[in-house]
Chain A
């Protein structure tokens, strides 16, 4: 069954479809939660909440706006960021950033298309000046504000904002499909 059919099954109370849905995405959802909150116990809480929220909001999923995976990932990421922001902030471990910007060969990919897209993104991030790559990952994955990036990197706030904006702009331009109509 495709992702949308599984989501529909989860929403309709189909136990088999629901279990298949969770098993299909649990690795990614838990991975996102763990990367952001850092603690496996809290990460499981976040991941469970993400699936519960997906079940409650399945009727609002719009396939034209993105994939089920993207939608679910966003739910999990938002919940994880909420949890982190409610706690005392702790600095990001630089080795985590290196791992994220690295090859990523530790994750077996289910589909060649997604693997290629992720590889493309990693390549584009590696092409950025390192300081911009760090800034965009701090902000985009860990939800750090420009102020927090500035403190972590020991730079002025304006510099942090510029790094985030520059990186995002370059990634947007580089990852845009050829001939895409942006109007």
Chain B
């Protein structure tokens, strides 16, 4: 794993905070920040500046009817979470069959309404969302399902999904492939115990590509 110093992180903190670093550099800094509170604070202070910069942008009235079109979009009859869940399951099942990956029993025929979304969060690369992760309890019992969708991560190839327990434990849920920086998959968290505090995606060099926190 590539290591960087706190001085390196301070130099790159503004670019990281503005999300304008190349993905490889971003991943290395994100991994460093996970274990360095001082650097995390440094980056957060820069992110505050970055956020305030957006206040410079003048407001502009959107086209007529914009508000009602938004409400129509969020009030679609079918729950978009449920629709995307079925799509993810179908994609994951097809990918598993094609790649011969062991996903711990993807059931493409599962009825979505028997699954209860226990927790969900955005997967973040620094300040930028690159996807979402849900942990779902199956109505029929058994280990919970971890469902993940990512895009534009800047990473390629084989990655590892890890669930971080509330007791600090790290459980490898599975190994998956990213194509053009993105992908969707699902697997059972067979070691689920006291609960999950977060999920992270790690590349072949052990660098954290993205992470989600449930706390």
Contact = CB atoms under 8 A, between A and B. Distances in A.
Q: Do A and B come from one complex?
A: yes
B4 interface: no
B192 interface: no
B62 A26 contact: yes
B56 A141 contact: yes
Q: Which of A31, A59, A176 has the most CB of B within 10 A?
A: A31
B41 interface: yes
Contacts of B120: 59-60
Contacts of B152: 82, 85
B67 A144 contact: no
Given A73-B54, A141-B56, A168-B14, A26 B49 contact: no
Nearest to B76: A52
B45 A172 contact: yes
Given A19-B71, A51-B70, A121 B55 contact: yes
B49 A28 contact: no
B71 A140 contact: no
B74 A52 contact: yes
What does DSSP make chain A's interface, helix, strand, loop or mixed?
Answer: helix
A169 B70 CA distance: 38
B interface SS class: helix
Contacts, number: 160
A77 B54 contact: yes
Nearest to A50: B70
B72 to A, nearest CB: 10
B56 A168 contact: no
Interface string A33-72: 0110000100110011001100111011000001000100
Given A57-B122, A60-B121, A172-B49, A100 B57 contact: yes
Q: 8 tightest A-B contacts by CB?
A: A168-B14, A140-B53, A27-B59, A30-B62, A31-B60, A31-B59, A107-B58, A22-B67
Interface of B: 11, 13-15, 17-22, 41, 45-46, 48-63, 66-71, 73-75, 80-81, 120-122, 127-129, 152
30 contacts: A18-B75, A19-B68, A26-B62, A26-B70, A27-B62, A30-B66, A31-B59, A40-B63, A44-B66, A47-B62, A47-B70, A48-B66, A51-B74, A52-B70, A52-B73, A56-B81, A70-B51, A73-B55, A78-B19, A82-B152, A121-B56, A122-B56, A136-B53, A137-B56, A143-B18, A164-B18, A168-B17, A171-B52, A176-B45, A182-B41
